Amino acid sequence: MQLGDLFDDASLDVAAASVEIDRVEIDSRVCGPGALFLAIPGSHTDGSRFATDAVARGATAVMASSPLALGVPVVVVPPSQVRATVAHVSSAIVGHPERRLELVGVTGTNGKTTVATLVGDLAIKLGWNGASMGTLTHERTTPAPPELFRSLARIADEFDVTARSVVGLEVSSHALDQGRVDGLVFAVAVFTNLSHDHLDYHGSMEAYFRAKAKLFSPERAKRAVIWGDDPYGARLADESTIATTVVSASDASSVTLSLIGSTFFWRGQLVRSPLVGAYNVDNAVVAMTALSALGASDEAIIDALADVRPVPGRFEVVSDHEIVVVVDYAHTPAGLSTLLDNVRALSPGSRVILVFGCGGDRDHEKRAPMGAVAAARADIVVVTSDNPRSESPDAIIDAIVSGVPADVVVQRDVDRRRAIERAISQARRGDVVVVAGKGHETTQTIGDVMIAFDDRAVVREVLA
């Protein structure tokens, strides 16, 4: 595609307009011949600082918010139009894949991955094309526009053009605030819940909520499915200006839970779900309602749910023999509280042994509350490292332990493998060991080093 086709309203001379572009990038380090480097102004640094590097690596052209002398064509876009332009060129260079897809955007603090994954899996079981994008598939929950639209293009290209094509897309508050999903119109926007997380970025719960609420506007979504039992969800439903279906725990009745799944009644019909835990009944109801909003029949949705795969690292039962071991991604105070309450409900009378930590270079304010939740809801607590990144693992653990009452004793070990071993070694027949925080992740970041680490694999090795 020629540069002039990407910027049809820009003042480019004939030579610049005819420059061939085959991809767009926001990272100068991956630029090469044929690349258009998008020098985006950021909250911490301006991408124009890296434009010279991009050109040195072969970038064919640059888009910036101010003139740059680089020896290659530079398209200058006013700062107020940068986000919209980045979305447009990222989509155009790969053929506007969003036009071939029905997108279901899922936002909220907890449950995004499960709901988005279920949406994609249910679509497949319904005989449609289906896929999901988010925490399980990308480094960022919602990728930056170049990667986002490339991923959507790959998905769309693999789909059968004769069938409906549905993609469940996790939409983070960062993505909404930074314009990463600008240019997308969602067939359905889904809200799961809102609780303490990312306040290091947003500063307050109100700002966090307002970022999430951006998804629920006529410009971004055609209709909404909102979990109304959450106070922020109830508020969002009241403020919504698009067609909205409010979902509640009462939508599922006669719920029966076990370590192999659940059964419940939805819209008067019996549902069998392979997902474990009461909160996954809620997630299932939200996903089913999203498919209903897309026009699928209740009967077909119920049949499809019975065959979906459990979501990796979300209340994943790694062992259900003498000692039950559950691995989960819970990494917020509310998420951890819900997880432990669900474990109690499934295993009444059993001791609950918890292993968890908090990520480094992330929201510091949630650490002490997570310590308080652990002390209140587990019988034995082993505090360890999550992904400490650039922070001291001991300092992170200190912050967690600061929320634990003085009369409660918790164990600590910065080595996550040793901590898991310690927890399992203390378990007796009938106990439940919960390993929380990393879920599906297969690596651990310590300092600037990333090592292979999968909680599920470690648990199996220790049990063996």
The string of pLDDT tens digits covering residues 310-350 is 999 999 999 888 899 999 999 999 999 999 999 999 999 99
For the chain, domains (ranges, CATH) are: 3-81+88-92 (3.40.1390.10), 97-305 (3.40.1190.10), 316-463 (3.90.190.20)
Please state, in angstroms and rounded to a whole number, the distance separating the CA atoms of residues 102 and 165: 6
Question: What's the pLDDT score for residue 278?
Answer: 95
Are residues 103 and 169 in contact, defined by beta-carbon separation less than 8 angstroms?
Answer: yes
Phi, psi at 57, each rounded to 5°? -90, 0
> Residue 42 pLDDT > 80, yes or no?
no
Q: What is the mean pLDDT of the chain?
A: 95
DSSP string, 191-203: E----S--HHHHS
Question: What's the pLDDT score for residue 13?
Answer: 87
Beta strand pairing call for 411-412 and 23-25: unpaired
* pLDDT > 70 fraction of the chain, expressed in percent and rounded: 99
Residues 6+ apart with CB under 8 A from 227: 108, 191, 192, 193, 233, 247, 248, 282, 286
Of residues 270 and 198, more confidently modeled: 270
Mean pLDDT of 239-264: 97
Q: State the CB neighbour count (10 A cutoff) for residue 296.
A: 20
Question: What's the pLDDT score for residue 371?
Answer: 98
Q: Tokens for 118?
A: 């279920």
Distances (CA, A) of 41 to 45, 134, 140: 7, 24, 19
Mean pLDDT of 192-210: 91
Please state, in angstroms and rounded to a whole number, the distance separating the CA atoms of residues 340 and 377: 6
Are residues 277 and 264 in contact, defined by beta-carbon separation less than 8 angstroms?
Answer: no
Identify residue 26 by its one-letter amino acid code: I
3-class secondary-structure state, position 422: helix
> Residue 198 pLDDT > 90, yes or no?
no
Q: Tokens for 189?
A: 């926007």
Least confident of 15-19, 52-56, 227-231, 443-447: 15-19
> Residue 202 pLDDT > 90, yes or no?
no
Of residues 452 and 43, more confidently modeled: 452
Question: What's the pLDDT score for residue 97?
Answer: 97
**Any alpha helices (H) in 159-247, and if so which ranges?**
173-178, 199-202, 205-213, 231-239
Burial of 24 (0-12, 13-18, 19+ CB in 10 A): buried
Mean pLDDT of 440-450: 96
> Residue 10 pLDDT > 70, yes or no?
no
Mean pLDDT of 388-416: 97
Mean pLDDT of 1-24: 89
Mean pLDDT of 136-163: 94
CA nearest 294: which of 245, 231, 353, 366?
Answer: 245
Distance between alpha carbon 33 and the CA centroid of its chain, in Å? 33
- Supply the pTM of this predicted model: 0.91
